[in-house]
Structures are given as structure tokens and as C-alpha cells.
Amino acid sequence: MTLIPSPLSLDRRRLLVGSSALLLGGLGGLGRARAAAPLLTVGSRTLEVKGKAATVFGLTGPNGQPGLVAREGERFAGEVVNATGGPLIMHWHGQVFAAFDQDRARPGGGETPVGGRDVHDFLLTPGTHWMHSHQMTEQRLLAAPMVTIEKDAGDVQNVVVMLHDFAFRAPEEILAELGGGGSAHGAHGAAAAPVQDPHAGHGAAPTPAPRSGAMPGMPMGQMNGHAMHGPGAMPGMGPGMMQGMGPGAMMGMMGAAPHANDVRYDAHLANDRTLDDPQVVRVERGGRVRLRLVNGATATAYFVDTGGLAAECVAVDGSPCRPLAGTRFPLAQGQRIDLVVTVPREGGAFPILAQVEADRALTGIVLATAGAEVKRLGDTAETAAAHADLSLDQRLVAARPLAVRPADRTFHLMLGEAPGYRWTLNGAVHGEHTPLEAKVGERIEIMFMNPTSMMHPMHLHGHHFQVVGSRGGRFAGPMRDTVIVPPHTPVVVAVDLDKPGDWFLHCHHLYHMATGMMTELKVR
């Protein structure tokens, strides 16, 4: 395995970080229980964001650089050291064999104490994935790319882009501003002792989310569980999907318009930098570049825009799909997207931008050929972006879909919001919930129903699922581990259960998860 910095640019001839070459050797011996050096050290680091110093977290390898890049067939084997000021709960997002190695023995992965070392040894899942804490410390950039280059990736230059939303104030302060009184599910919402930021408390105040909204244009009579079985309806959409809706919730579904961005951030980062001083990645004239974009944001979805470069989407959430052409793609919290672009033979500078959902704020990087002029970029778009929806998934086709077969079980999950900034599944916060239960070898379908006014990116640990239905009926969509569930919209996913364990299923908006929007799928 090779650890290399992230952001990165990797082709068959050289390793590049920005425009600087970096030569790395193999680590060797990582399969031993006590490696000579930690595979990863989780500690603190200092960034400059808009002219201010900010102390945040980071994950670094023996070379002192963040992030991990390996090749298909290699293993994640060695020690992870907790050099933070509090207990650490790591999640290897998208790494299905990691989940089997760790979550099965310790649901959620357990905690690594301060100064402790956690030993891992699992086969890396090919594709664009990432690592992050399963605590509020993720807000303080305790996250990094975890990319395994596929054997069939071809002759391309790989460029990893990690997106973050950033606030100078502490996540506990933001949660209090939102009206949340604290964790609804124990250690997985509580922050480890935070690294103190010299500028904490000086950010703009967040805007609270409005209360649950409605399905525009859907008469109340269609919500009784009968009309949902008519032409174009999705199988399984019946009275059971109303489970967990409290008094007045039905009327609430006829209310507010979609809403996004319940936290107002001080900055948005791409590879730790703003557009005041973006990273410039050197690319070749006429060369093919595979952009591997990771949305590591806490509470923000983005639209990725390749501008003057036509792109093909070739994978989402690390899973290959049939190439789909475009220049603008939604990317919710926790999701990844791989876009292949071709640099014109005449060369030039090409911004790759990410625009905040329902907002004008921008971040991004620049691809540039040798000698190209890189112009100063603004960080505000002329018009606000749209709301993230399921339109991309309705157009994508998985390269390796699930086999055609009926589901053995169907679960209905009603996403909801309760007073006091408590986000619920089937009317309950985590800790007061009823887990889902199924058996190894079964295929299950999960139907998410979202009467709230916010989009929820729903993530399942330990598995990849196929998106198979939404408004308008069934379709054979992409394989994912995190799916956009838009306001007032049902979404159905299918998953083949191939391993036992207690697998978390939660919203990847950190503050929604921290205040209750999480359950478990217990597989026996």
C-alpha cells in the first residue's frame, strides 16, 4: 500500500501534488500487529482560512501527508493512533470489508481512547471512498480521502478533491444555535474533546430550518395509503409508510417549501483551500483526468461544475456506472462522484467548481497546463444553485447492478423532525428507536419517505445498495452507499445482505444524525 498526500494527482509517469513531484516508497510490514510506524495518526493541524488561523483535525501517514491512496488488491493493515484530545470513533466510509472487520465485533467501531492504537487489517474496497470520525469532530475536518485505484481505471491522471464546509466556531456551539440540546444517541453524536480554535465564536449565526413541509400538488386523499397503489405507484407504498407520523404531521406535509443550509458557514473548502487561493493542479495538454470528488461536508450539499470541460460520470460512491455525459452534477454529504474530462490540446486553465445547494457560494480547484494563465476566481456565483434532487440517479445505470429478483422484506422509514431540533426515523430518535431486522442472504428494500422540508442524504454502513424507485415508479439506478432523499419525495433502495452485523443507517447531515436521525439494521 502507498500513502500519498491528498489532494493528489497520479499518472503512470509521476506523482504530483499541485505542480510539485513527490517520490514515495512502499511502507512494508504493515500486516504485522505492531508496525514500525503508524499507518495513520489522527491529530491536530493548523490551516489558514480567509486570513485567519484555524486549528483543526487531520489524518496523516508516515510521510506526514493526509489521505490514503492504494491500488485494488491491497490491504489496509496497520495501526491508527489517536493523538486527539478525546476518544475517537472512526468510520471507513465505503469500505465494506472494513465494516465486516470492525463493526461486527464492535457496533459502530467502538472508541479508541486518547493515545490509544487501533489495529486494522482488511482488504480495501476499490473506488473513491473516505475516512471520517463518527462524531461531531468531523465538523472540524476529521476526514480524509481513502481512494483505491481500480485495476481497470485506465491511463488517466487521478485528481482527488475533498470538499468541506467550515466554521470557526465549535460544533457544539452551532448545535446549540440550531436549538439542539445535545446528543440523542450517546457517543456517536457527542464530540470528542474538541481542539480549541482561537477564532471560535466569531462565525455568522445559522438559520434554523423551517418545520416539515408538503408534497406539492399531492391531495390529502392520496396520502391514505390507497392511491399509492395505482398506475405509476411504487410497490410497497401503502399504509405502513405512514408509520411514525405524529399528530398534525399529515397536515404538515402540505406546508413549507424545500429548504437547505440550516447552518451558515464561514467558508467552503476544496482540498483545505478557498477560491481566494485555490489549489492549482498541473495537467497535460490532451490528457485525460479522472476527478475523484468527495463531499466531506457536515451539513452542505454541492453541485459540481466542470465548466468548459465536458465530463463523463463513470462512478458514484465508488461504484462504476455507465458513462453519463454532463457538466453539472449534485453531490450530497457523504457522496462521491468520479468524473472523467479531457484537457484540450491547446491547453489552458480550467476551474472545477462546487456550488452550495440553494446558494451562490463557491469553492473548487483549477486544472492548468504548463504556462497557462490562472485568473483570480470569485467565490460567489451569479445565481443560486437548485435544490439537490434525485434526477441524476434516475439517469444513471449501474455497471454492475443487482441481479433481478424480488425483495424478501420491505421496510418503510419515515424521516421526520420533532420540536427542539430533533430529527427522527419512524417518529423516534436514536436510543428510543426500533432497529430493522433481517437475515443474511436476504434482499431487502428500504423505502425512505421524507415529509420534511430538507433533503436528507441517507447512508448505510457495510453495504452498497441500488437505487430502484422514486416518484414516478421503478427504475434501475446506480449502486451507492448514500442516497439523496429530497423533500416530499419517496426513494426506494435495494440491498443484498451478505454479512451479519449491526449496521448503522443514518442521515449524513451531521447535525441531523447527532440529534437522532439514525437507526440500525441488525442482520443475523
Residue 461, pLDDT above cutoff 70: yes
Helix (H) or strand (E) holding 119: strand 117-123
Give the model confidence (pLDDT) of 232-250 as tens digits. 344 444 434 444 444 334 4
Give the mean pLDDT of the chain: 82
| pLDDT tens for each residue of 203-220 | 333 333 333 333 333 332
- Determine how β-strand 68-71 pairs with β-strand 90-93: unpaired
Better-scored residue on pLDDT, 426 or 29: 426
Task: Set out the domains of the chain in order of their start, with CATH numbers.
Answer: 9-152 (2.60.40.420), 220-252+394-523 (2.60.40.420)
* pLDDT value at residue 126: 98
In the predicted structure, residue 184 carries a pLDDT above the cut 80: no
How far apart, in Å, are the Cα atoms of 422 and each of 49, 167, 456?
A: 31, 22, 14
Mean per-residue pLDDT for 389-410? 97
CA distance 338 to 322: 12
Q: How much is the pLDDT for 111?
A: 86
DSSP assigned state of 97: H
Residue 183: pLDDT band (50, 70, 90) is: very low
CA dihedral defined by 483, 416, 90, 319, rounded to 10 degrees? Answer: -10
* Residue 100 pLDDT grade (very low, low, confident, very high; cuts 50, 70, 90): low
| Cβ atoms 66, 105 nearer than 8 A | no
* Model pLDDT, residue 37: 77
The string of pLDDT tens digits covering residues 278-327 is 999 999 999 999 999 999 999 999 999 999 999 999 999 999 999 999 99
In this prediction, residues 3-29 reach a mean pLDDT of 33
| Rg of the chain (C-alpha set) | 22
pLDDT at 255 over 60: no
* Residue 311, beta-bridge partner list: 326, 341
Which phi-psi region, left, alpha or beta, contains residue 186 (left: φ > 0; alpha: ψ -120 to 50)? left
Query: For the residues 464-468, what does the mean pLDDT come to?
Result: 98
Q: What are phi and psi of 361, to 5 degrees?
A: -65, 140
User: Rounded CA gap, 350 and 366, in Å?
Assistant: 6
Round to whole Å and give the CA distance between 426 and 406.
24
Percent of the chain with pLDDT over 90: 70
Cβ atoms of 354 and 339 closer than 8 Å: no
Pull the grid cell for residue 111.
Answer: 472508541
If one counts every other C-beta atom within 10 angstroms of the C-beta of residue 318, the result is 28
